């Protein structure tokens, strides 16, 4: 398909949606036990380190609704990758903790995910990747403030 003649911001917006769909399909093919969305929640969970986040904190970092992340977390709990428990200081909050099985899954997919990333970014200079990250982080910041008026 030829590059449409349109405003670059609109083209970028559409490209992000199309890429998200394509990456989900590729991720679902790579992973046997879980979906790409479940994998992303587990990756974000790992960014919290030793601290077990609440479902709300996890949802904020994932960029999805509390209810969506709760449903994904419940499925991951059934599969043994996380545990969900009440926060001792505030019983209304639910903490998400990775299990040993979560770590084993990460070890299993370490090499395949490295190959995946190498193939995905093949031929793209690091400076271009940094520029793309800068733009996408700007879109992320702006999107968080939209609709709060």
Q: What is the pLDDT of residues 38-71, one digit of tens each?
A: 999 999 999 999 899 999 999 999 989 999 999 9
- Residue 86: strand pairing partners: 94
Residue 96 phi/psi, 5° resolution? -115, 120
Q: Residue length, the chain?
A: 149
CA atoms within 13 A on the CB side of 144: 10
138's CB contacts (< 8 A; 6+ apart) are none
Query: Using CA of residue 59, residue 78, residue 27, residue 31, what is the dihedral sign?
Result: positive
Does residue 137 carry a pLDDT above 60? Answer: yes
pLDDT, position 136: 93
Q: Where do we find the tokens 């949802």?
A: 59
- Residue 83: strand pairing partners: 97
Does residue 27 carry a pLDDT above 60? Answer: yes
Q: What is the pLDDT of residues 64-80, one digit of tens each?
A: 999 999 999 999 999 99
- DSSP SS3 for 121: coil
């Amino acid at each position: 398909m030829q590059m449409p003649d349109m405003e670059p911001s609109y083209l970028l917006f559409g490209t992000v949606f199309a890429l998200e769909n394509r990456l989900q399909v590729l991720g679902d093919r790579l992973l046997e036990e879980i979906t790409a969305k479940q994998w992303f929640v587990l990756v974000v969970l790992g960014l919290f380190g030793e601290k077990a986040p609440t479902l709300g904190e996890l949802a904020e970092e994932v960029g999805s609704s509390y209810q969506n992340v709760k449903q994904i977390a419940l499925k991951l709990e059934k599969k043994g990758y996380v545990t969900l428990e009440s926060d001792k200081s505030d019983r209304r909050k639910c903490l998400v903790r990775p299990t040993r099985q979560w770590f084993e899954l990460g070890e299993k997919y370490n090499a395949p995910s490295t190959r995946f990333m190498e193939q995905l970014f093949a031929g793209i200079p690091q400076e271009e990747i940094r520029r793309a990250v800068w733009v996408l982080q700007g879109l992320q910041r702006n999107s968080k403030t939209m609709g709060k008026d």
